[in-house]
Structure 1
Amino acid sequence: MAPVAQLLQDNGLGPRIVAPSDAEYDARIDSYWSNSAKLKPACVLLPKSAEEVATAIKVLAAASAPFAIRSGGHTNWPGSNNIDGGVTIDLSCLNTTAIAPDLETATIGPGARWKDVYAELHKFNRVVAGGREGNVGVAGLLLGGGMTFFTGRHGFACDNVVAYEVVLANGRIVNADAQSNSDLFRALKGGSNNFGVVTKFTMKTIQCDRVWAGMTFYPKQTIPRAIDSLCAFADNVKKDPDSNLIWMVTHLPQFKDIVVATLFNQVAGVESAPAYDQWRTIPETMNTIKMTSVSEMAFEYNMPAGYHNIWFTASFKNDRRIVSKASELHDQLAQELGEIAPDGNFFTQCIFQPLPTLFADQSVKAGGNVMGIERHAHDGLLFLATAMLSNSEQEALAYPKVKTWVDAVKRYASTIDGGNLAWTYLNYADPSQDSLMSYGKENVRLMKTVAAKYDPHQVFQNLCKGGFKITNVNA
């Protein structure tokens, strides 16, 4: 047994330790969504209570032993939620969802997956403003801010958290809400793993039974019309904040070509809402839109696992010229990746989502967060650039090409007045991207102050590996 595992066992956590010699060890590593994140910890710890998390943090901090925290394990890059040679604290056993008697709030464990959260809440015709991909873990999405289907009405996912239960670096378990530890409460709304381990989230629920939602696919010849429709839709979110879309041009292995895909979700359950009228004029190759539920969608729409993944992000002014440039350069990227993966077994995604100033308005109305999106002067678009490859060798070759693509789009956007917006979405960011700096000086100062107050010995800055560390931000 590794010395650090022996230390945890000596402090009563033996039944929760999974060692490399245990069959469950390989299962826990294999359960990571991205092959890029499948590292080899000295052991995996599976705590079943906040108290066990607190014991582990105290023991590891006292021994200056490095550790990582895993919720769902969906962040794609190595070291984001796992560790080589240290302890990975896997929160998957803290996965319960319980709705309050008045149905107005739900308490959710950090290791729950959104598909399971929605399945439980669907029994009461309720949802929360959570993740849109069913296999994503609760804690990572919420602590990074969280884009949702409900942002136009209720703000980001983090804006819908009303209380956190947090294990601090000294092992204390505290509650943070608008009245108690209110500075920590605000910092956790987008501040990631800089302050402690959240062992319970309490979220506002939303009454929602049926939604009108699904995917449409279009041939690549429709890209110019689809870009016009995307930008027009983003311009009009304020008129219908219940209608959502995620738009992409994507290379899919099954087609061995680029296609256009759009995910629609009308969360008020309005069939064929006027917000989508312009899209209906574009010839489709496939359409799966139907009356469904958020719960059913979370089980149906999931990104394929078992690939090596590269993600970069940016935020741009809503301007069709920028989208066109990104799409044009995406075509070039797909050709280059075809040379790296000649069997065609690779995915690319050039994704755009509306990012109107309305989203920031709803966040402020809900009490605010630390992401600083209210600084945006224009309605925007959130950009996500991804590539999924079969092996690490292909990933290493593809990485600089994806980065070059994103940098080129950002350079082009800089030629347009207000083309680049400040925010770098933490949950989509590559580790080279300074996500926390993008929150603005005031929010950086707040996070630094909160980290120093609640973790004066910098356990979560130095021993807790992975994520974006506030002490690394110069402001």
Structure 2
Amino acid sequence: MAAVIPKSLPPQVESLRSSGVTSKVLVPNDPDYAGRQSSFWSVSAQQLSPAAIVLPDNANEVASIVKSLVAAGQPFAARSGGHTNWAGSNNIDGGVTIDLSQIRHVRVSEDKQTADIGPGGKWREVYAELDKHGLAVAGGREGNVGVAGLILGGGNTFFTARRGFACDNVVEYQVVLASGEIVTASKHSNEDLFCALKGGSNNFGIVTNFKMAAIPCSKVWGGMSFLPKATIPAAIDALVDFVPNVASDDGSNLVCIFTHMPDFKDVVVATFYANVDAVESPPIYKKWLEIPRIMDMIKMTSIKEMAFEYNIPAGHHVLWFTLCFKNDATIVTKAVDLHEILVEQLKTVDPEGGFTTQCLFQPLPKLFGQRGAEAGGNVMGIENQSSDGLLWLATAMMKTAEHEAQARPLVEKWVQDVKDFAASNVEEGVLPWTYLNYADPTQAVLASYGAGNVQKIRDAAAKYDPEGVFQKLCPGGFKISDVKS
């Protein structure tokens, strides 16, 4: 890309000009600036206004930008797909946002064993390219999610039961450090950084390439179904029954969502199935397929098609919280009952009912952590999980910032009440892991990984970023420096 540097830059980014950075730079009066700002999935994340947005084309340009900003002491943010929902996670007020959206390559190796994937692409683009080769990778299940954020936060995928999380499928990372040095991290090189990047997020540098294991996969059976409210007890039973059976069918996936949506007058159950072996109606779904449905979109399809078809619409002010529980029907029932109370409360905030909520459960069997350990280990600590569990996402998506502010304490109370119930009524009902990609910024994500893993992240950050640039100048995300010793 040719240099497009405005004649007059704000003082916050004069360092880019003076150091000869040739990447495209957008400032607030540039029409393309507004387009990049509005491209964040959550309106909540659009609220911050960087002094400039810089769009590098490759790792060398990223290195030049980072070196320049660090030398000038200028704060910055790094953004890939822009899907993290909260303000400050991937954008910055008055600083420089390094927008990686131009680094979106997908290159399959000659032997079709690996794929090099740029951080700034979205998973629908990745799968579209890999599908040409009859391949997939263990990546995001929603097509509009960005590559880097999903992987660096761990990444739950269609293949977690078989191959571990997305991060467990990375063979090699290319990383730009705070010094501007470009390094690789793998099981053969910078092994401590390689491990720490598997769930350690943006505490070390900016990843400019993910070399991932390629997976033969041309067809998938699955899709979405919507079930009426009256089927909630049957859905809870089918959900809890599904989890232990993942061990005997590690190609099958489930997402179960108790949800209020503007298109439905009442709470409904939305389900998402995916069997990556292209087995139609495998036995693990027997209970689910016996439940009456309002709408059914299950078919033989592909990961590429799923990534294009199933995405949460953009344009909302979004609240996300997450917890993990023992696989227990009483906990799910409590969460669902309290969700219905939340929906009624939110109707007083938005009487038109233009909001969406999700009380979303996914299997979290012990197998997931075991697969990660078999792949070499990560820093998320899931291999220490004491029992089969459920990963819970609690969301409210509101139309205005005012509605979001009013909804926040209601959602927080819902989450806390479910957590208290699980802790008080079920032995080891609350599991320790907090999934970074679903978490609210108030949640203690990195601390949930366990003391040993916290130390691994802390040690890697100190070694590869000794000046603490990615703790101080790049404040977005979950920082190891915020974890109490």
Q: CA deviation at 1:12?
A: 2.0
Kindly provide the amino acid, as one letter, of the partner of residue 294 in structure 1. Answer: I
Partner of residue 22, structure 1: 30
Partner of residue 297, structure 2: 288
Trace 1:154-233 onto structure 2 (pairs within 5 A).
Answer: 154-233=163-242
Whether the 8 Å contact between 2:322 and 2:439 is mirrored in structure 1 is yes
User: Normalising by structure 2, what TM-score?
Assistant: 0.97
Distance of 2:202 and 2:210 partners within structure 1? 14
Partner of residue 45, structure 2: 37
SS at match of 1:402: helix
% identical aligned pairs: 58
Distance of 1:146 and 1:201 partners within structure 2? 13
Q: CA deviation at 1:29?
A: 0.3
Gaps of 5+ in 2: 1-8
- Equivalent of 2:478 in 453, 463, 468: 468
- Equivalent of 1:79 in 69, 80, 88: 88
Partner of residue 4, structure 2: none
Trace 1:304-319 onto structure 2 (pairs within 5 A).
Answer: 304-319=313-328
CA RMSD of aligned residues (A): 0.7
Deviations 1:367-406 (A, max 9, x none): 0000000111100000000000001000000001101000
Q: CA deviation at 1:281?
A: 1.5
How many pairs does the alignment contain?
A: 475
Kindly provide the amino acid, as one letter, of the partner of residue 397 in structure 2. Answer: M
Deviations 1:311-352 (A, max 9, x none): 000000000000000000000000000110111100000000
Deviations 1:114-152 (A, max 9, x none): 000000000011000000000100000000000001001
Deviations 1:72-124 (A, max 9, x none): 00000000000111000000000010000000000000001000000000001
- Equivalent of 1:12 in 17, 20, 43: 20
Residue 455, structure 1, aligned to residue 442, structure 2: no
Partner of residue 6, structure 2: none
Trace 1:429-448 onto structure 2 (pairs within 5 A).
Answer: 429-448=439-458
Distance of 2:346 and 2:20 partners within structure 1? 50
Q: CA deviation at 1:256?
A: 3.1
Runs of 4+ in structure 1 over 4 Å off? none
- Equivalent of 2:10 in 2, 26, 36: 2
Partner of residue 361, structure 1: 370
Distance of 1:268 and 1:76 partners within structure 2? 32
Trace 1:217-366 onto structure 2 (pairs within 5 A).
Answer: 217-366=226-375
Whether the 8 Å contact between 2:360 and 2:394 is mirrored in structure 1 is yes
SS at match of 1:388: strand
Kindly provide the amino acid, as one letter, of the partner of residue 171 in structure 1. Answer: G
- Equivalent of 1:99 in 108, 115, 138: 108
Kindly provide the amino acid, as one letter, of the partner of residue 177 in structure 1. Answer: S
Distance of 2:246 and 2:358 partners within structure 1? 23
Distance of 1:346 and 1:14 partners within structure 2? 43
Distance of 1:301 and 1:209 partners within structure 2? 18
Kindly provide the amino acid, as one letter, of the partner of residue 368 in structure 2. Answer: F
Q: CA deviation at 1:13?
A: 2.3
Kindly provide the amino acid, as one letter, of the partner of residue 19 in structure 1. Answer: V
Kindly provide the amino acid, as one letter, of the partner of residue 450 in structure 1. Answer: A
Whether the 8 Å contact between 2:173 and 2:184 is mirrored in structure 1 is yes
Q: CA deviation at 1:226?
A: 0.2
Whether the 8 Å contact between 1:9 and 1:17 is mirrored in structure 2 is no
Kindly provide the amino acid, as one letter, of the partner of residue 97 in structure 1. Answer: V
Whether the 8 Å contact between 1:217 and 1:284 is mirrored in structure 2 is yes
Kindly provide the amino acid, as one letter, of the partner of residue 71 in structure 1. Answer: S
Whether the 8 Å contact between 2:77 and 2:474 is mirrored in structure 1 is yes
Partner of residue 398, structure 2: 389
Whether the 8 Å contact between 2:124 and 2:144 is mirrored in structure 1 is yes
Whether the 8 Å contact between 2:22 and 2:61 is mirrored in structure 1 is no
Distance of 2:380 and 2:153 partners within structure 1? 9
Structure 1 residues 15, 447: CA separation in 2 closer, same or farther (over 3 Å shift)? Answer: closer
Distance of 2:11 and 2:470 partners within structure 1? 21
Larger mean CA deviation between 59-68 and 221-230 belongs to: 59-68
Gaps of 5+ in 1: none
Deviations 1:234-272 (A, max 9, x none): 121101010110001000101132100100001100001
Whether the 8 Å contact between 2:23 and 2:61 is mirrored in structure 1 is no
Whether the 8 Å contact between 2:76 and 2:96 is mirrored in structure 1 is yes
Residue 133, structure 1, aligned to residue 142, structure 2: yes
Distance of 1:30 and 1:256 partners within structure 2? 30
Whether the 8 Å contact between 2:12 and 2:94 is mirrored in structure 1 is no
SS at match of 2:33: helix
Deviations 1:166-197 (A, max 9, x none): 00010000000001000000000000000000
